[in-house]
Amino acid sequence: MSLHRLMKAKRLVLPRSGFYVILDPQHRAAGTLPPEWFIHPLMNDMARPYYVGLLSAAQLHGAAHHRPQEFQVVIPRRATRPVQAGNVLIRFHGKGPFDHSQTQEIKTPTGILNASTPETTAWDLVRYLKAAGGMENVATVLSELAEKLDGRKLRNTLKQHGEVLVAQRLGYLLDKLGRRKLSDSLVDLVKKPTLRPLDPTAPLAGASESRKWSLLINAQVEPEA
């Protein structure tokens, strides 16, 4: 049977030229396998270092309140065009260089994948608020992800990444979630910071001030139950 006929019969999907995913009967209705099953060989085929990140990583760590609408993959430097695999959109997010300390291997039914550690996931969610669904969604995901966070590792991750503003916002959110042991590990990273808004998308009118985190609290953050 030709490749075209196999694809029409939903027995193959072509996420990228020359890269085929074979569908078993169980997954033909969805038009693809779960992206976790083939992302590692796909990225090897693209010759790109990567990790599954943001909301997709949170889901792997058991912390996604809702299943993400797209599969989020982080790559060094500039993002590349998204990949459509059946009903699944794989979206790539560009970031500065990263190393193995920010990632971990997770076993899948077909092998492994690289995912951000819980601590790097927390940093990414706060740093890339728009991609993570906004401040309210980030707070909701953090409320579940916090169970997996280690204070020492979190502090080291934020020191490695830099960007004091992320430490300010993440520390405040962890305080709001009642995770003082985690937030206290970040306090000394916030030294003489610029007073910045908690939510960059919200107006500043009527904002209160958090002296501890040097933030203008311009949004009421209520994690979804």
Do residues 158 and 132 lie in contact, with contact meaning Cβ atoms separated by under 8 Å?
A: no
Whole-number CA gyration radius for the chain: 19
φ, ψ dihedrals at 49, nearest 5°? -65, 150
Per-residue pLDDT of the chain (225 residues; tens, 9 = 90+): 566 676 666 667 878 888 888 888 887 777 788 999 999 999 999 999 999 999 999 999 999 767 788 999 999 988 789 999 888 999 999 998 899 999 999 999 999 999 999 999 999 999 999 999 999 999 999 999 999 999 999 999 999 998 899 999 999 999 999 999 999 999 999 987 789 999 999 999 999 999 999 999 999 888 876
Please list the residues that pair with 52 across neighbouring strands.
73, 115
pLDDT at 9: 62
Task: Tell me the torsion sign for CA atoms 93, 95, 100, 104.
Answer: negative
Place of tokens 């990225």: 43
pLDDT at 82: 94
Start-end ranges of CATH 3.30.460 in the chain? Answer: 34-217
pLDDT at 17: 81
Structural fold of domain 34-217: Beta Polymerase; domain 2 (3.30.460)
- pTM > 0.95: no
